[in-house]
């Protein structure tokens, strides 16, 4: 619990409540001892892994290059994620994709036109349903969904532990892969690209200095979309683990207070890819390439780890 001091009280309460359900005696104490030993081992393995390290983002501001965005204009403080020691991958750049579309390309112009039209806070072409999806995806509770799936499908303690281990290590490595690309390519966000479109050298783009996205832009580059990358990774990992594309997840969103049922993995990935465009915070290419990169991370990982013996 020392690794998460702000959550210490809540974790202590949850731990005691969990133990209260187990009869006192040697078996309970043996379980506690084994769990504590496993925890110490994990903490030792992750020592000096780069978490929270100072990783500067040095490119000078120029057309196409990321810079802090309104309203907070925060720096790229999470850059360390792109240099974090992975759990499963060999190194952060193992699945780094090729570069994003050139500023002068037609694909770049299409990407920008779509997010400009559908991701705007005001005057958007977005439907009410698309707006709800953008808000839903922004704050999903994946751990709850995994626990619910395990309970409904009668997973035992080993199967449940494997599910959480697969999901969370693959999600973490996918985030590392996404942040490696963010550091490497450092592309500007839609809000900057749209407001400064008259500097990109592309005659097919249109500048709007007052444009604002539906949701506040996070403080890191566009390419890759972290959310789309981990969504692609998680869903591919679940497909590999379950042996089917049917994931049967009830996912709750703290953003909308609603729950959606996703029968198939592809349905959730589709919603995430669309949602980040409709939220006005990512280009479609950053989402699509992100989801494909996440799928590669998961496929590679599940071929090497978590195999049943």
Query: What would the pLDDT profile of 260-297 be if each residue is shown by its tens digit?
Result: 999 999 999 999 999 999 999 999 999 999 999 999 99
Strands ordered across the beta sheet of 140-141 = 140-141, 246-253, 259-264
The CA distance from 139 to 110, in Å, is 27
Provide CB contacts within 8 A for 172, sequence distance 6+: 86, 87
The CA distance from 233 to 305, in Å, is 14
Where does the pLDDT of residue 1 fall: very low under 50, low under 70, confident under 90, or very high at 90 and above? low
Pairing of strands 246-253, 259-264: antiparallel
Provide CB contacts within 8 A for 117, sequence distance 6+: 124, 125
The CA distance from 59 to 40, in Å, is 39
Report the chain's mean pLDDT, rounded to a whole number: 95
The CA distance from 185 to 200, in Å, is 16
- Report pLDDT for 15: 86
Q: How many CB atoms lie within 10 A of CB 261?
A: 10
102-158 pLDDT per residue, tens = 999 999 999 999 999 999 999 999 999 999 999 999 999 999 999 999 999 999 999
pLDDT for residue 66 is more than 70:
yes
pLDDT for residue 174 is more than 80:
yes
Mean pLDDT of 192-214: 98
Tokens of 226: 């972290």
Where does the pLDDT of residue 225 fall: very low under 50, low under 70, confident under 90, or very high at 90 and above? very high
- Report pLDDT for 56: 94
- Report pLDDT for 161: 94
Our CA dihedral for 276, 282, 288, 289, rounded to 10 degrees, sits at: -140
Q: HSE-up of 253 (CA within 13 Å, CB side)?
A: 18
């Amino acid at each position: 619990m020392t690794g998460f001091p702000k959550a210490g009280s809540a974790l202590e309460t949850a731990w005691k409540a969990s133990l209260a359900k187990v009869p006192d005696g040697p078996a309970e104490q043996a379980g506690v001892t084994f769990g504590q030993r496993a925890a110490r081992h994990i903490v030792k393995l992750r020592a000096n892994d780069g978490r929270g390290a100072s990783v500067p983002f040095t490119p000078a501001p120029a057309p196409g290059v990321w810079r802090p965005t309104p309203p907070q204009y925060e720096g790229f403080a999470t850059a360390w994620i792109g240099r974090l020691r992975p759990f499963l991958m060999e190194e952060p750049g193992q699945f780094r994709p090729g570069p994003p579309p050139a500023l002068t390309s037609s694909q770049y112009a299409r990407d920008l036109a779509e997010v400009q039209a559908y991701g705007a806070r005001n005057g958007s072409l977005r439907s009410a349903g698309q707006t709800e999806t953008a808000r839903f995806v922004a704050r999903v509770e994946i751990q709850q969904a995994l626990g619910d799936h395990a309970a409904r499908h009668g997973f035992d303690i080993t199967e449940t532990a494997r599910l959480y281990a697969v999901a969370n290590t693959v999600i973490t490595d996918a985030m590392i892969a996404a942040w490696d690309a963010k550091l490497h390519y450092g592309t500007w966000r839609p809000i900057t690209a749209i407001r400064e479109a008259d500097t990109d050298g592309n005659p097919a783009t249109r500048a709007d200095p007052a444009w604002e996205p539906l949701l506040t832009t996070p403080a890191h580059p566009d390419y890759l979309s972290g959310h789309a990358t981990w969504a692609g990774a998680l869903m591919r990992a679940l497909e590999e683990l379950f042996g089917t594309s049917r994931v049967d997840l009830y996912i709750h969103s703290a953003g909308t207070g609603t729950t959606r049922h996703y029968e198939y993995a592809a349905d959730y990935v589709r919603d995430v890819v669309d949602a980040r465009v409709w939220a006005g915070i990512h280009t479609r290419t950053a989402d699509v390439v992100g989801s494909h990169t996440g799928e590669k991370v998961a496929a590679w990982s599940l071929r090497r780890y978590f195999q049943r013996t």
